[in-house]
Amino acid sequence: MKPLALLTLLLVLLPPARLHAQEATPPENPVITSLKGLHDITVTNLLKTAEMLDEKMYAYRPTDEVRTAGQILAHVANAQFFFCATAAGEANPNTRNYEETATTRDAILAALKDGFDYCTGVYARLTDAEGSQMRDLFGRKMAASAILAFNAAHNYEHYGNLVTYMRLNGIVPPSSM
């Protein structure tokens, strides 16, 4: 008798739940919108990191074989232009190599903001249909949306480097606050 009561309850509740799920309107470009949400998380963590570190931490590197925190952030700035331009099918608008030219905290922070602003513009105009178009990335054909996902993964990779640098110096990273 109990299984029958449970089945009856499910049958009574299921139609309203299905109706409610159908009422939610998906965004116009759900794939690009979702990828932008992922990108925005990385942007938040990286910008908070860049803003909270002082000039001394920008010069910090745990060993001579790795980039400084500032070089990592400058590298991420370069990457924003590269990945987002590639995904958009555009020429890279950045003509500077920030790892070589941005040497102060303020210059690196400005470069990082410029790179993120550029990507925000790409996300704003890219559609899911365009996101399915194949592009060349590192000698491989990839969908534009996959290139955007690669960029988010790349951002997370380097945020992870910075988290280690911060932890080694007794700094709580933004994602742990």
pLDDT in single tens digits along all 177 residues of the chain:
555 444 343 444 555 544 455 557 778 999 999 999 999 999 999 999 999 999 999 999 999 999 999 999 999 999 999 999 999 999 999 999 999 999 999 999 999 999 999 999 999 999 999 999 999 999 999 999 999 999 999 999 999 999 999 999 999 999 998
What's the whole-model pTM score? 0.85
pLDDT in tens, 89-107: 999 999 999 999 999 999 9
pLDDT in tens, 28-50: 999 999 999 999 999 999 999 99
Whole-angstrom distance between the N-terminal and C-terminal Cα of the chain?
Answer: 51
DSSP characters over 94-136: --S-HHHH--SHHHHHHHHHHHHHHHHHHHHH--HHHHTSEEE
DSSP helix/strand/coil, 80: helix
> Distances from the Cα of 83 to the Cαs of 12, 132, 146, 167, in angstroms?
49, 15, 10, 29
The angle that helices 144-168 and 69-88 make with each other, rounded to 10 degrees, is 170
Q: Quick one: pLDDT at residue 23?
A: 57
Q: What's the CATH number for 33-171?
A: 1.20.120.450
Q: Quick one: pLDDT at residue 5?
A: 47
Domain boundaries, the chain: 33-171
